[in-house]
Structure 1
């Protein structure tokens, strides 16, 4: 365990929160000053993240790094405890990157700009805290912190049904969060010692029946956020009403909180229960992939089509988590990062297209590529990334999950063949509905009524810059995935070993120094 001398993580978390509190006193009539202020804060915080990563983070270590712990309520062993490892560090970097670009994407916002940027910066710190805190009760508090900003960003700046979407979001996510609190308190008071420290909780000897109950409680909360069908219905409504920068935060960061927590809490702290529930995760992942892809076909609203596409892609994450192979777990983490970048880019372009056409209905578009060539090119490139075109990050992530599950001996061969076939069907469906979407928006004859009523101007430099920033890591990871996988490989290997060791029949199997085979759960 590395302990940081400088409070890197505390600074990274609290800087945007503290900066947001100064926004009300900024003299600003038209919102120009506050948006520049917010962008500078985002850039400074992201720069601190990058400096901490390159100067303090050790790729070869699977231990917590940049650890800080300050007493809060000593009687309950409740501390301000933060630290990062291979699971959380890439997501902290992703959060800083996406949020800074979201601030730049919010440039056209003119309604209550001070409140808007205040919420964005407050959410910035809260989301980083989710990936960094190492105290279970503190994790619950910061998990709840991001609910209020998202609710207000939807309810005030959303579309016509914004109040319905915001209310549905808060009911689903707050309801799921109650299960985190109940499970956290149960774990803290179990045994002879009372503690909320995650490392201490992972060492407690929970009975299998209790582990299963705790696993189910955590799973409900994280299944809402990931989201996993049938707890997904809030997401299409939220995306259907959100503005472009809020889209980027939802798709780029918020969904990753569910995947991260599922690995951190369910797999790492409750490994025996995870082995018990792994087949269920596989089935739910397949349902996500197929059902959401088919539902995306039927959507005529552009935002809802991309939203269901996101749900489909996140199904690969659950399969990777339950694969019991190093390659599958590594692919799950890579898929989260990849989808964060690709989802943010697609939803930003959806917002840019709506700003020009003032419609989200595919039936009302057509032929706009002739007048918006830059947007057409960027939308096509990002769609290629989403459908897992070789050379882009989505292809590498999904391939790793495919091969990781296919080479797993955790399941019998019949089950593996069925799952791989259904995953392949999902992969085939994705390019069909995405290419069909591109055809309906950009190809064919122009909608004369649309062209007559709207000024279909092409992308401005700010928009090109945002997409370029997102495409650079998408293509870079696709061409050289080691640039990212080396950050967390030591952690995923350790986690897979812990999952194997949790089941006696698995621990007896021989392993190699390169990669551990998956456990035997054949029925």
Structure 2
């Protein structure tokens, strides 16, 4: 049942890329959209069959692969990976639908989008360390090409920077994986049954630091963040949606699944430092966002700040805070995708994202009043306004982290206020006032441009009003992850000492 999620987009990529007959761009787009919709609907089927009372991996698939390497094809899902799989399916559908109908080299473009989906899906499903690494690296090349070929003016620089950072990230992750397996004496890379508790604490810390830096580059966390703003600014709108909405979550997922879950003693020891690192990322990302005049770069820096909340909650390692990490991943994915979609519409219709140029887009006759209204929804959700999914996710993060790290939590809450500041700056400068003379005669905004953003806005409000629909899938798994590793009491005790 899980292999279907990998095979469907893979078959779609093969058909579009290698079918020996001409395919017009519009047909390529709709074929790709059909395959992504099938994958997304299948994740919903899996969600409907998922038993929330079982905290172990479900729908497991196992097939021996390369015995000499200890590599097996082992897939499974639980409450940590299931919401991310659904998010990946949804945002991939939106990215394909939002792609330019007149894009150059459409068959190559859509094949890469489907391969990107394969890599991310496989990473969330893999129950083997080496298999996870293979899928983790698989998504690197498609994303590099999608930025380098269809990006902006400085796309070559941004794509190369992304490639170098992510390649270094992969080296650190692979080295840590090899260390865990070889030093523990395991016969394979299987996640289940891997016992690292007998390793010396110093060794565990060294391995965890490698994972933290490797996955911290992917988040990204300060100071490994510099590739992200450049990649977002140069990437096309659909690629920015996937980058912020899904690809960053591979890093947070890996940190929880392989860092905290496999090296709990080292995690306990480093937890106070991780909480402080989270505070730095939150404040730095939010402060940099205030200083931006490019709308897209402002949203990119806001992602750095909001991803810091995930590290804070993971460092606290309470059942409530770990639940908050998953909710924050989902809420950030939905909200950032909405913001990048709307910024993309503004750029498409005005030809600029410069806040020094844009004014008065709320003009009901010649502006973009509905786009502005949807952007207000995204801004309110990102700022943590009650009734939006951003509020409940951040509230749970802060509520779960405060008993362990009260100082770091209170300082991180400043980031919520800064979020309101820089997004109010964006709205005030771009949408209020008189319509700028430099962006007159704007093209009409069609419903095809509005539908994806409207859909995301509805989901953001629904989960904000009824978060239990999301929590029920995740809470049993996150609670079990904490209790089985006995991280809570140890981290709490260490936090009290600090």
**TM-score, normalised via structure 2 length:** 0.96
Instruction: Give the secondary structure class of the aligned counterpart of 2:72.
Output: strand
One of 123, 131, 143 as aligned partner of 1:130: 123
Q: Runs of 5+ in structure 2 lacking a partner?
A: none
8 Å CA contact 2:219, 2:307 repeated in 1: yes
Rounded to whole Å, the distance in 2 between the matches of 1:192 and 1:215 is: 18
The match for 2:26 is 32
The match for 2:38 is 44
* Mapped pair 1:522 → 2:489: no
8 Å CA contact 1:302, 1:360 repeated in 2: yes
Q: Runs of 5+ in structure 1 lacking a partner?
A: 1-7, 508-516
Q: Note the alpha carbon deviations across 1:329-359, whole angstroms, 9 max, x for none.
A: 1111100000000001100111111001111
The match for 2:425 is 436
- Note closer, same or farther for the CA distance 1:191–1:438 as it changes in structure 2 (3 Å cut): closer
One of 390, 394, 398 as aligned partner of 1:398: 394
Rounded to whole Å, the distance in 1 between the matches of 2:193 and 2:445 is: 52
Instruction: Give the secondary structure class of the aligned counterpart of 2:385.
Output: coil
Rounded to whole Å, the distance in 2 between the matches of 1:193 and 1:177 is: 21
8 Å CA contact 2:25, 2:107 repeated in 1: yes
How much has 1:406 moved relative to structure 2?
1.6
Instruction: Give the secondary structure class of the aligned counterpart of 2:2.
Output: helix
* Mapped pair 1:188 → 2:149: no
Larger displacement relative to structure 2 (206-215 or 236-245):
206-215
> How many matched pairs?
493
How much has 1:204 moved relative to structure 2?
5.7
Larger displacement relative to structure 2 (202-211 or 243-252):
202-211
Rounded to whole Å, the distance in 2 between the matches of 1:388 and 1:193 is: 45
Instruction: Give the secondary structure class of the aligned counterpart of 1:368.
Output: coil
How much has 1:518 moved relative to structure 2?
4.2
Rounded to whole Å, the distance in 2 between the matches of 1:76 and 1:216 is: 25
8 Å CA contact 1:90, 1:487 repeated in 2: yes
* Mapped pair 1:345 → 2:345: no
Q: Which structure 2 residues correspond to residues 169-318 of structure 1 after superposition, within 5 A? A: 169-202=162-195, 205-318=198-311
How much has 1:324 moved relative to structure 2?
2.3
8 Å CA contact 1:28, 1:34 repeated in 2: no
Q: Which structure 2 residues correspond to residues 44-63 of structure 1 after superposition, within 5 A? A: 44-55=38-49, 57-63=50-56
Instruction: Give the secondary structure class of the aligned counterpart of 2:59.
Output: strand
The match for 1:513 is none
Rounded to whole Å, the distance in 2 between the matches of 1:48 and 1:391 is: 29
How much has 1:522 moved relative to structure 2?
2.6
Q: Which structure 2 residues correspond to residues 118-157 of structure 1 after superposition, within 5 A? A: 118-157=111-150
- Note closer, same or farther for the CA distance 1:336–1:191 as it changes in structure 2 (3 Å cut): closer
One of 76, 79, 87 as aligned partner of 1:83: 76
Larger displacement relative to structure 2 (456-465 or 159-168):
456-465
